Amino acid sequence: MAASGVASVLGHAEMIGASVGLGFVGGTVVTTLGARGKRRRDLEDRTLEALAPTLGVRRLDRRTVIMSNWTQGWPGVPRKIRVYYAPGVLDAGVVLEPKVIGTLAVRLGAKYKVVRHHLKHCYLVLKLDRAPQAAEQEVRPPALERALQALTSLIGPTVELVGYDMAREDELGSITISHQAGTKMAAGGYRTRIEGVVSTMMAGRWRAQWDLEHDLARFEQRPLLPGSIWLPDTLPDDMDDLLDKYDQVRIPKAIDEDGNELFWEPARVPQMLITGGTGSGKTSTTHSIVGKITQFGWPVWVADGKGVEFLHHRTWPNVQIVATTVEEQVAVVYRAYTIVKERYRLITQQGFRVEDFEPLVVVLDEWSETVQGLLGWYDDVKQRGEKNKPPTLSHYSSLARLARTARVHLIVTMQRPDVQLFGEGGGEARSNFGERISVGRLDPAGANMMWNSTFIGVTIPNGARQRAITTGADGRPVEAQCYRFPSMTAPDDSEDGKRRESLKPQHNRHPRLLIVPPEPRYAGEEELPLGFWDYAKADWVLAEDRPDLDPVVMAAQHERAGDARTAASALTLLGVGTSSPANAASLRKAVTANPTGDAATIVVNAIDHELLLEAAELVITAQFVSRPMLQRKLRIGYAHAGRVLDQLAEHDVIALHDPDSAADDEQAPSGDGRVLPGPDDLASTLERLRPLAGAAAGTRARTDEDPDGDEWEPSELSTTTPGDAYAGFGEPQAIGPDNLVVGDLIQMEDAESEWVFVDEHPEPDILDAGCIAISWRGDGDEYGSVSLPADTTVMTRRPLEHS
């Protein structure tokens, strides 16, 4: 209208119509451009909202995503995009780029490629990918095509490839896709099924990362765990006040597949349970945990079930006591129990707070072994009227339930989950021991007790020492590599010794303790047998106050005198050049009677024979026999005393009582048996026993050719070989592939080892009708997948059932 007015004023009336038309067109153009600009701004805003979580930005700002140089169209797409992200975004080059490209593909409907990534200034520059259409039809690797087909079949036809990496020329490393099946993917069970199918069908062990908000998914092979990791020698700072820093203590235990360090936080999860068979690395794992705890200045008590695993920790700073005998272990458990009860009393009756108590760590190492020895020992010391089971078991149960709230922290280790200690299904143990580590492979029953699943941890490779399943940061079980601790016996100037010394705590805050053996009791001149409570309530003293009882002092004296070296030398054991004619003579008799036996067999026979003669003289003179008496008088262990009892009975020196018939007989005689020869028969009995040197007083030689010898344990005494690596599995049988379960052994020709484990639940091969896809894992941590016809069979060995 303004234009027509100007034309009229200038006297050009004929231009009035044209001016009106031009004004109309101009207005239309302006309006159109304004609408398209608004559409573009709306598109920019929606894209920013979609990208914000990925970029780690806290508030929406249009300067975060800048789009420029738009194409023609309604509203068109930007040819160039600059995207800024927060400095805290991790793995920007690995995870961020595919996510940004995928989100842009979904929101803008176009493909973009990263042309610049400025890591220092935290931004990406992307340009519209205008590659010729023919390039998109290029031949893709077969593994990629197989993965895309599988994901399209599982998720739907909206699946589009965003990016991928090849691990090797013929093996897919990762694949990132976008989809429009958000509603379907919201179901956790369905996502789990997709992950399982992908991991089963594709070579390797796979995992998924789901971006449900932006309809993206990334599937990638799990990173390989390292074979061995030394415990870091970084010492904690400023740990002078145990109470002030209590909540901050974090004990490193392992590394997960992403390289993240996993910790035990005792203030949050007070009790720890560690299981692992012989050779799995359980002991080194436990030593690492104890080594780190002592660095924080916490006192540690150890009940060493085998008597040798923590022997050299007696001098380790802040380890106050290492109990190596059943009697000492009973005392340790009882004293820990009384500390918990006393702390509860202080809280309830005197108004103390838990925060007032310093922490105490009690390690019950090889607890199953300890319990077995305890049961036999208790039968010998149980007094009339006492319970049938040792009170130590109830003390342990109370500790497992109550110690955590009194700042007494239990670390219990055992070779395998024991139903007698765990309870049916292991529910109570999982509740009491929130921090758990199962080192090495589990059988299905053990996996169920430890992790409430018969499949978790059943395919851990035999060759991966200290590979474990442990509780992750979120409390869920994860596979990890536990920290390795240097040898406690390595010389100080060796590499292991130097590494061990670097891990020693800087300060020894807690003095070493000793348990004083109870004194014998008498009724007149008759020595009364000591009972359970005599040992449980035995006095404790500072080690410096009783050097006569200190095994560390005695070991040092032996070392200075050269006794240990001399006593353990081959010449001494063979009786060559020794000062003991009797020992040399007995050894010569052993050699004569057993000329084909090896040196170790001869030594065992001769030593047993000498001990038998001494034991026979002891019991005939006393006219009384019991296992505690033999332990005390002969200075031998509980198990060794039991063997001596058997030898005495075998050679008619004693007649052992029948424990079943004596249990309910109130008139049953005391001791473990009845001495057969009288005092006057001592000389003749010893004369009768002396010629038996070669036979070692009836003890069979235990050699590799005699697997039926007493206490023969091939799994513990021999190294693992291909012939016995799967001793816990049944005989081979032909089984259909659709009936296989995780943890089964199957025979594979293309694996490095003859037998491999089924690593995932077998799934129907969605790309090959009538076939079953099986993912496998070998003992060398190699892996693969195979697709077998459903109507065929595969040679399989299944785990033996364990009660």
11-25, 251-265, 418-432: range with lowest mean pLDDT: 11-25
**Which of 113-127, 249-263, 654-668 holds the top average pLDDT?**
249-263
pLDDT of residue 637: 66
Cα–Cα distance, 416 to 425 (Å, whole number)? 14
Average pLDDT over residues 14-40: 57
Cα–Cα distance, 581 to 594 (Å, whole number)? 20
Please say whether the beta carbons of 274 and 335 come within 8 A.
no
pLDDT at 699 over 60: no
Supply the pTM of this predicted model. Answer: 0.65
pLDDT at 398 over 70: yes
Query: What phi and psi, each to the nearest 5 degrees, are found at residue 256?
Result: -85, 180
Reported as a pLDDT band with limits 50, 70 and 90, residue 1 is: very low
Report the candidate in 133, 128, 102 with the shortest Cα–Cα distance to residue 115.
Answer: 128
| Both structure tokens of 139 | 């031949």
What's at 426, amino acid-wise? Answer: G
Reported as a pLDDT band with limits 50, 70 and 90, residue 229 is: very high
- Report the percentage of the chain scoring pLDDT > 90: 29
Residues 607-655 have pLDDT tens digits of 467 788 889 998 898 888 887 778 767 767 666 788 888 889 888 899 9
pLDDT of residue 192: 82
Evaluate the CA torsion angle 763, 764, 766, 771 in order and state its sign.
positive
pLDDT of residue 563: 54
Please say whether the beta carbons of 626 and 380 come within 8 A.
yes
If one counts every other C-beta atom within 10 angstroms of the C-beta of residue 548, the result is 8
Reported as a pLDDT band with limits 50, 70 and 90, residue 206 is: confident
**Greatest pairwise CA separation for the chain in angstroms:** 159
pLDDT of residue 520: 85
Residue 484 pairs in a beta bridge with 230
Average pLDDT over residues 153-180: 88
pLDDT of residue 238: 67
Residues 757-781 have pLDDT tens digits of 888 888 888 777 788 888 888 877 7
Please say whether the beta carbons of 703 and 605 come within 8 A.
no
Terminal-residue alpha carbon distance, the chain: 98
pLDDT at 292 over 80: yes
pLDDT of residue 731: 87
Torsion, Cα 6 9 10 14, to 10 degrees, reads 80
Reported as a pLDDT band with limits 50, 70 and 90, residue 302 is: very high
What's at 621, amino acid-wise? Answer: T
| Both structure tokens of 765 | 């091969």
Cα–Cα distance, 251 to 248 (Å, whole number)? 10
If one counts every other C-beta atom within 10 angstroms of the C-beta of residue 552, the result is 14
Residues 532-578 have pLDDT tens digits of 999 999 999 999 999 988 988 887 765 555 555 555 555 554 555 44
119-123, 155-159, 167-171, 267-271: range with lowest mean pLDDT: 167-171
| Both structure tokens of 520 | 């014998």
Average pLDDT over residues 97-122: 86
Reported as a pLDDT band with limits 50, 70 and 90, residue 28 is: very low
pLDDT of residue 103: 86
If one counts every other C-beta atom within 10 angstroms of the C-beta of residue 628, the result is 19
Residues 346-375 have pLDDT tens digits of 999 998 998 889 999 999 999 988 998 999
